[in-house]
């Protein structure tokens, strides 16, 4: 199943060419723009803690609302007894826009060398809950790699589909905020200091 998911992600990615975009608060962000749709965005950061601790935070999908609040308004695990784990998310969008939602399937795997990969893609089915505007294209992965006994590298890659048409300035602001916010949320949850602006 993991191989199928990765194959699907590669097809969606179309071999993206990530280019450095910006660095903020210890997070290096790159972007792969596409003329055909939303860009792929990648954030990378080193964390002064072991990979197992980082993985424990990100593998706990039931806690995502708490971890990523206030932007994530709801995260309800719909199916979680085996892979994939399906989660219904609702994201808070500013007025005058309607909130967005998606049903997302997650896979969690251990990698050789004590690393981890958490992958996801959209997986809406008839009868799933719905709230706001459905984001139909969701995909990404987080890689957690050990760099030493108390050092790890977190790489978060995702498709930047916002679920509709927005002014370019709002898109750019959302794409810049999300990857840094993701890494900082993990740092806070781990009790690690947040680098200054």
Would you write out the chain's pLDDT as a tens digit for each of its 197 residues? 444 444 444 444 456 789 999 999 999 999 999 888 899 999 999 999 999 999 999 999 999 999 999 999 999 999 887 789 999 999 999 888 899 999 999 999 999 999 999 999 999 999 999 999 999 999 999 999 999 999 999 999 999 999 988 889 999 999 999 999 999 999 999 999 999 98
| Domain assignment of residue 119, yes or no | yes
| Domain assignment of residue 196, yes or no | no
Q: Domain range spanning residue 101?
A: 2-190
Q: E strands of 92-138, at which residues? A: 100-111, 115-122, 133-134
| Domain assignment of residue 49, yes or no | yes
Measured between alpha carbons, how far is 163 from 186 in angstroms, rounded to an integer?
Answer: 25
Task: Please answer whether residues 118 and 142 qualify as being in contact, where contact means their C-beta atoms are separated by less than 8 angstroms.
Answer: yes
pLDDT at 158: 97
**How many domains are contained in the chain?**
1
| Domain assignment of residue 197, yes or no | no
Q: E strands of 52-197, at which residues? A: 72-79, 85-91, 100-111, 115-122, 133-134, 139-148, 151-159
| Domain assignment of residue 195, yes or no | no
β-pairing verdict for 100-111 and 133-134: parallel
| Domain assignment of residue 177, yes or no | yes
pLDDT at 6: 45
Residue partners of 69: CB distance under 8 A and separation at least 6: none
| Domain assignment of residue 167, yes or no | yes
Measured between alpha carbons, how far is 146 from 133 in angstroms, rounded to an integer?
Answer: 38
CA angle centred on 154, ends 92 and 157, rounded to 5°: 55
| Domain assignment of residue 159, yes or no | yes
CATH code where residue 69 lies:
3.30.530.20
């Amino acid at each position: 199943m993991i191989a199928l998911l990765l194959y699907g992600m590669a097809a969606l990615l179309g071999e993206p060419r990530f280019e450095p975009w910006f660095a903020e608060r210890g997070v290096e962000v790159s972007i792969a723009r596409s003329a055909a749709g939303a860009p792929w965005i990648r954030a990378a950061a080193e964390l002064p803690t072991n990979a197992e601790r980082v993985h424990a935070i990100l593998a706990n999908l039931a806690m995502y609302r708490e971890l990523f609040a206030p932007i994530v308004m709801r995260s309800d695990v719909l199916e979680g007894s085996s892979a994939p784990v399906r989660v219904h998310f609702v994201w808070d969008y500013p007025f005058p826009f309607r909130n967005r939602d998606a049903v997302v399937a997650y896979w969690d795997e251990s990698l050789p060398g004590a690393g981890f990969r958490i992958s996801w893609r959209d997986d809406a089915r008839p009868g799933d809950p719905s709230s706001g505007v459905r984001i139909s294209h969701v995909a990404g992965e987080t890689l957690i790699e050990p760099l030493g006994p108390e050092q790890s590298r977190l790489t978060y890659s995702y498709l930047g589909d916002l679920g509709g048409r927005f002014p370019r300035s709002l898109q750019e602001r959302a794409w810049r905020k999300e990857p840094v916010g993701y890494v900082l949320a993990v740092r806070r949850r781990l009790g690690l200091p947040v680098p200054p602006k």
